[in-house]
Structure 1
Amino acid sequence: MAVTITFPESCLCSTERLTAAAKRWRFLRKLKRYDQMDFQFALWQMVHLIIGPRKVYRNFVSRKETKNQFARDDPAFLVLLAGFLCLSSGLITLVLGLGFLGFVKFFLWSVFVDCIATGLVVATVMWAITNQFFRADPALDVEWGYSFDIHLNGTFAFLVFIHILQPLFYYPVLNAWDFVGTFLSNTLYLLACTYYLYITFLGYSSVPFLKSTKRLLSVFPIMVLLYIVSLSVGWNISRTVMNFYHYRVM
């Protein structure tokens, strides 16, 4: 005679939490095992986040089908992002003349404040919003780790504009005290924010049980309005940000 065993809801929730914790622990353990990280694939992701971000999210969907999770299970992308921040921090240090100690401070700020701390806040907010307002099936929810991955994807694309293009063209063009300098500076930030928004939208729209994700793009008109206002008042965003970078480490 077949016997059916049912588990209370509290037991099921505990199992889900343990599974999530086990996944996080497995991810953290791999940080010590460089031989198990796929740096080639992580580099492929970084390149395609700039030239074709849709391809990156197809991989996230495939991971859900094969490993039952959207979030990355390989920390190689995070390690390469830290390396990217090290190189870009060195570039900004040279442009601003911050010196070696300034470089160390700026790098630590970039990793632990700009990337990790901000990422924890943004990922948590987006995780809460999407699970509260965008789920088509209440029985399914977005993984917090996936929200954090989406933020990291958008952050990398954003930093290509702000940590690479901005310092390279800061003194020749962006810092000029005329409309052209302000226009190019603020346009660079509009492009960077648009890329972040688009990659974020692609990330959540790739989740099959989320609905109406196009509402995330409603932020874009606000960004354009702020861009127009900044040009109208002559506010050079690059100059403000680079001065802030200099101030916070000196």
Structure 2
Amino acid sequence: MPKYFKRFMNFQSLDFETAVWEMFNLLVQPKRVYKLLYYQRQTKNKWSRDDPSFAIILSLLLTISAICWGLTYSTNIITIFKLILYMVIVDFLLVGLVVATIGWILANNILSQSNTNSQSGSYDSNKWWVNNKYIRFIFPSDSILEWAYCFDVHCNSYLIIWCGLYLIQFFLLPLLRLNNWISCLIGNTLYLASLSYYFVITFYGYNMLPFLTRTEFLLVPIPIFAIFWLILTLSGFNVANYMSDSYFG
């Protein structure tokens, strides 16, 4: 992480070309991107990126989207600033921190083939917090997978959210806001596809790790989304219309 932030401050060291290549392939053949990360593990002995270029470009895309949404549906500069704050800081970064932490906990404690914390006994028993099994479960002292990789997986998956819910929805919103069943069907399907593909890319990210098992459980939210999609669509509840009202009142 220190090297990650050090490169963040050194613009000349950023590899934007590789980041753009990864973004393109995540849309067409995501497994190829994770194969590259696997080879990186062999050369750099780490799973996570040490270059923040991907996160920077994605944040820039979200910022541009927020400005376009604001200029189109609101002329208030404060509203545009709030959109940038919500879309970049809250929706992408803060939610990403939570999702990455949950993925890190699951990977090191549940999905790992062997729970190193319970088997190695390599922690200092003189410290009160390591004797608490719940604290050791949440914060493993000798985790197999670094947290930064889990955040990388979130960034990779969130690119799909940007394409579906920030880009495509922007152009389709006049249609999606119409009060008819077709608009409801298209809007809800767009959200279903975007959220489902988010978890598919997330599954690819964890499934390629050789020390994890049962990673198919990461796909469990998809049938849950499908059930909600069916219920909401049949009841005429348009998710796209509801979200636009939430952002623009």
- TM-score, normalised on structure 2? 0.86
Secondary structure at 1:235 match in 2: coil
Q: Give 1:35-184 correspondences, 5 Å limit.
A: 35-139=12-116, 141-171=144-174, 173-184=175-186
Which residue matches 2:11?
34
RMSD value over aligned CA atoms? 1.3
Report the CA distance between 1:98 and its aligned residue.
Answer: 4.0
Structure 1's consecutive aligned runs of 4 or more residues displaced over 3 angstroms after TM superposition are: 137-140
The farther-off stretch of 234-243 and 137-146 is 137-146
Measure how far apart 1:101 and its partner are.
2.7
Number of the residue aligned with 1:186: 188
User: How far has the Cα of 1:37 moved from its partner?
Assistant: 0.6
1:95/1:167 contact within 8 Å kept: no
Contact 2:74 2:80 in 1 (8 A): no
Q: Which amino acid aligns with 1:159?
A: W
Match for residue 240 of structure 1?
Answer: 242
Task: Give, in whole Å, the separation in 2 of the partners of 1:175 and 1:75.
Answer: 37
After superposition, give the CA deviation of every residue in 1:72-122 in whole Å (9 maximum; x if it has no partner): 100111111111011111221133124333222211221211111111111
SS at 2:212's partner residue?
coil
Counterpart of 1:228 in 2: which secondary structure? helix
Q: Distance in 1 between matches of 2:45 and 2:247?
A: 41
Q: Counterparts of 1:82 and 1:217 in 2: how far apart (Å)?
A: 26
Q: Percent identity at matched positions? A: 30
Cα deviation, 1:35-78, whole Å, max 9, x if unaligned, reads 11110110111111111111111111111111111111001111
Asked if the contact 1:201/1:214 (under 8 Å) is kept, the reply is yes
Residue 10 of structure 1 corresponds to none
Over 3 Å counting, the alpha-carbon distance change for 1:201 and 1:221 in structure 2 is same
8 Å CA contact 2:14, 2:52 repeated in 1: yes
Residue of structure 2 equivalent to 1:221:
223
